[in-house]
């Protein structure tokens, strides 16, 4: 009876959740700089409309978080998603203006559509559905719309957890977990990260006589070539993560085939370190031997790997002419595939999508690790959107996937409360 009431509510509000997603996109929230004030206003208007109580926490001006609550008592489930987005980039490359929230051919377009305004819209509409029957179940759902995820800032989920503003028994992150060329998955684990600023030191001289100096750019290039050795190092997967890693490889292999990529180039991310040199800066003038060159490097860490091992590697390949600074350090983390929350999500995924979403490990990193590390609670990710379009031009999410995710969230929460 209760599930039927929730279904009737969601059916009545199908168009509303799609329009809500569009409004969230229109509000922007680029990070950097990370000001999400306009997005917060859209969220607050929605919560006010459906009579859902909430609190705003703003550790820094414009960097705000919303915690909304439905129900009372135990158990308590957290649904969490970030409301900031990466910059839109070259706007001439977009089919529609990146913050138009254009709805066309059953797709919602715009920066953040997939990552992750679709997940925010779905989780809050699922909250509205539960609020409509709030007196008929025991349990609490907390909906966290957080900032500072895209730039690893200090004011988002990490701040809420560190300052004891947010707690629960389990957590569902509503990040996008689908691929257009594959299927939706439940993400049980994610790689860690070590971001390093590597600085090479040289000696300036006239460009006509480079032998009088020492070229910092060339020094840095020699070291960057050695990073291939780090990527070649195998990592032993922990026993209770093997199922997640196995299905993570199968998922990436299907995606690779659909995109014309050799499967191994993607699947190896599940049990190897990967390196991305994202930024290089060096030199002052064409005819001056550069005395300084720096690179910002993103190393992702698989289950069984550790940031300490990466730092030891850097110590081995650099000499006195180098220094390095760690700008982000995140442990690999996971929730085993037999976690009840995963089973409940898979059950409702099969009912709604027509197949059972596998529980997998993913190559990227999200806020999930903060909940596992700070609260020690089972944390998984599931949400509308697709890996291929995240952070890309013409980002979009299918309207049906936003609607489906809303149903899955609502019924997952009700099932969890009945346990």
- Output the 3-class SS for the chain: CHHHHHHHHHHHCHHHHHHHHHHHHHCCCECCCCCCHHHHHHHHHHHHHCCCEEEEEEEECCEEEEEEEEEECCCEEEEEEECCECCCCCHHHCCCCCCCCCEECCEEECCCHHHHHHHHHHHHHHHHHHHCCHHHCCEEEEEEEECCCCCCCCCCHHHHHHCCCCCCCEEEECCCCECCCCCECEEEEECEEEEEEEEEECECCECCCHHHCECHHHHHHHHHHCHHHHHHCECCCCHHHHHHHHHHHHHHHHHHHHHCCCHHHHHHHHCECEEEEEEEEECCCCCECCCEEEEEEEEEECCCCCHHHHHHHHHHHCCCCEEEEEEEEECCEECCCCCHHHHHHHHHHHHHHCCCCCEEEECCCCCHHHHHHHCCCCEEECCCCECCCCCCCCCEEEHHHHHHHHHHHHHHHHHHHHC
**Residue after which a domain boundary falls, among 330, 345, 372:** 330
Q: How far apart, in whole angstroms, are the C-alpha atoms of residue 387 and residue 180?
A: 8
In this prediction, residue 403 carries a pLDDT of: 98
Q: Tell me whether residue 150 is in a domain.
A: yes
Q: Tell me whether residue 263 is in a domain.
A: no
159: CATH: 3.40.630.10
In this prediction, residue 344 carries a pLDDT of: 98
Instruction: Report yes or no: 25 and 112 within 8 Å, Cβ to Cβ.
Output: yes
**Structure token digits, residue 354:** 């027509």
- For residues 94 and 180, membership in a common domain is answered with yes
- For residues 348 and 399, membership in a common domain is answered with yes
**Structure token digits, residue 221:** 């290039």
- For residues 64 and 78, membership in a common domain is answered with yes
**Residue after which a domain boundary falls, among 330, 355, 380:** 330
- Residue 290 CA: distances (Å) to CA of 296, 318, 340: 18, 18, 57
Q: Which residues have a Cβ under 8 Å from the Cβ of 319 and sit 6 or more positions away?
A: none
Q: Tell me whether residue 70 is in a domain.
A: yes
Instruction: Report yes or no: 330 and 365 within 8 Å, Cβ to Cβ.
Output: yes
Q: How far apart, in whole angstroms, are the C-alpha atoms of residue 81 and residue 147?
A: 9
- For residues 18 and 149, membership in a common domain is answered with yes
Q: How far apart, in whole angstroms, are the C-alpha atoms of residue 408 and residue 347?
A: 9
Q: Tell me whether residue 157 is in a domain.
A: yes
* Chunked mean pLDDT (size 10), the chain, 419 residues: 94 98 98 97 98 98 98 97 97 98 98 98 98 96 97 91 97 95 93 96 97 96 95 94 96 88 94 97 97 97 96 88 90 96 98 97 91 96 95 98 98 95
Q: Tell me whether residue 267 is in a domain.
A: no
Prediction pTM value = 0.90
Q: Tell me whether residue 63 is in a domain.
A: yes
Q: Tell me whether residue 260 is in a domain.
A: no
User: Which of 184, 339, 332 lies closest to 270 in space, CA to CA?
Assistant: 332
- For residues 156 and 283, membership in a common domain is answered with no
In this prediction, residue 198 carries a pLDDT of: 95
- For residues 355 and 311, membership in a common domain is answered with no
Q: Tell me whether residue 101 is in a domain.
A: yes
- For residues 186 and 220, membership in a common domain is answered with no
230: CATH: 3.30.70.360
- For residues 400 and 308, membership in a common domain is answered with no
Q: How far apart, in whole angstroms, are the C-alpha atoms of residue 174 and residue 402?
A: 11
In this prediction, residue 259 carries a pLDDT of: 85
- For residues 52 and 167, membership in a common domain is answered with yes
| Domain of 229, in residue numbers | 192-235+272-330
First to last CA, the chain: 17
**Residue after which a domain boundary falls, among 330, 365, 380:** 330
**Structure token digits, residue 15:** 């168009």
Q: How far is CA 203 from the centre of its chain?
A: 41
Q: How far is CA 318 from the centre of its chain?
A: 32
- For residues 214 and 70, membership in a common domain is answered with no
- For residues 371 and 381, membership in a common domain is answered with yes
Number of domains in the chain: 2
Residue 32, preceding bond cis, omega within 30 degrees? yes
Within 13 A of 97's CA, how many CA atoms are on the CB side?
A: 8
Q: How far apart, in whole angstroms, are the C-alpha atoms of residue 22 and residue 43?
A: 12
- For residues 32 and 74, membership in a common domain is answered with yes
């Amino acid at each position: 009876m209760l599930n039927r009431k929730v279904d009737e509510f969601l059916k009545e509000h199908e168009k509303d959740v799609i329009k809500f997603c569009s409004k969230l996109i229109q509000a922007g929230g680029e990070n950097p700089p990370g000001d999400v004030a306009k997005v917060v206003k859209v969220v607050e208007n929605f919560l006010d409309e459906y009579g859902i109580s909430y609190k705003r926490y703003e550790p820094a001006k414009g960097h705000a978080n919303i915690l909304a609550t439905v129900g009372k008592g135990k158990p308590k489930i957290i649904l969490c998603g970030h409301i900031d987005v990466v910059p839109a980039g070259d706007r001439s490359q977009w089919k529609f203006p990146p913050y138009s929230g254009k709805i066309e051919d059953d797709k919602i377009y715009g920066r953040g559509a997939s990552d992750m305004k679709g997940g925010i819209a779905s989780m809050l509409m699922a909250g509205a559905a539960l609020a409509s029957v709030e007196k008929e179940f025991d349990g609490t759902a907390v909906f966290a719309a957080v900032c500072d995820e895209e730039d690893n800032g200090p004011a988002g989920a990490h701040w809420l957890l560190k300052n004891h503003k947010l707690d629960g028994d389990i957590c569902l992150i509503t990040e996008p977990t689908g691929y257009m060329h594959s299927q939706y998955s439940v993400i049980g684990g994610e790689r860690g990260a070590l971001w390093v600023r590597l600085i090479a030191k040289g000696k300036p001289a006239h460009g006509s006589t480079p032998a009088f100096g020492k070229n910092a750019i060339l020094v840095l290039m020699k070291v960057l070539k050695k990073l291939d050795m780090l990527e070649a190092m195998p990592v032993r997967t922990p026993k209770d993560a093997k199922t997640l890693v196995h299905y993570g490889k199968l998922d990436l292999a299907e995606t690779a085939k659909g995109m014309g990529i050799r499967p191994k180039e993607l699947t190896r991310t599940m049990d190897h370190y990967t390196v991305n040199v994202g930024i290089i800066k060096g030199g002052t003038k064409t005819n001056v031997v550069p005395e300084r060159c720096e690179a910002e490097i993103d190393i992702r860490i698989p289950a069984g790997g550790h940031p300490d091992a990466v730092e030891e590697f850097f110590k081995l390949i650099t000499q006195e002419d180098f220094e390095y600074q760690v700008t982000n350090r995140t442990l690999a983390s996971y929730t085993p595939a037999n976690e009840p929350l995963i089973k409940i999500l898979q059950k409702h995924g099969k009912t709604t999508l027509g197949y059972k979403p596998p529980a997998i490990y993913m190559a990227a990193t999200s806020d999930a690790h903060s909940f596992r590390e700070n609260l020690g609670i089972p944390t998984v990710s599931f949400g509308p959107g697709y890996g291929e379009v995240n952070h890309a031009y013409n980002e979009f999410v299918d309207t049906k996937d936003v609607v489906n995710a809303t149903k899955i969230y609502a019924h997952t929460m009700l099932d969890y409360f009945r346990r």
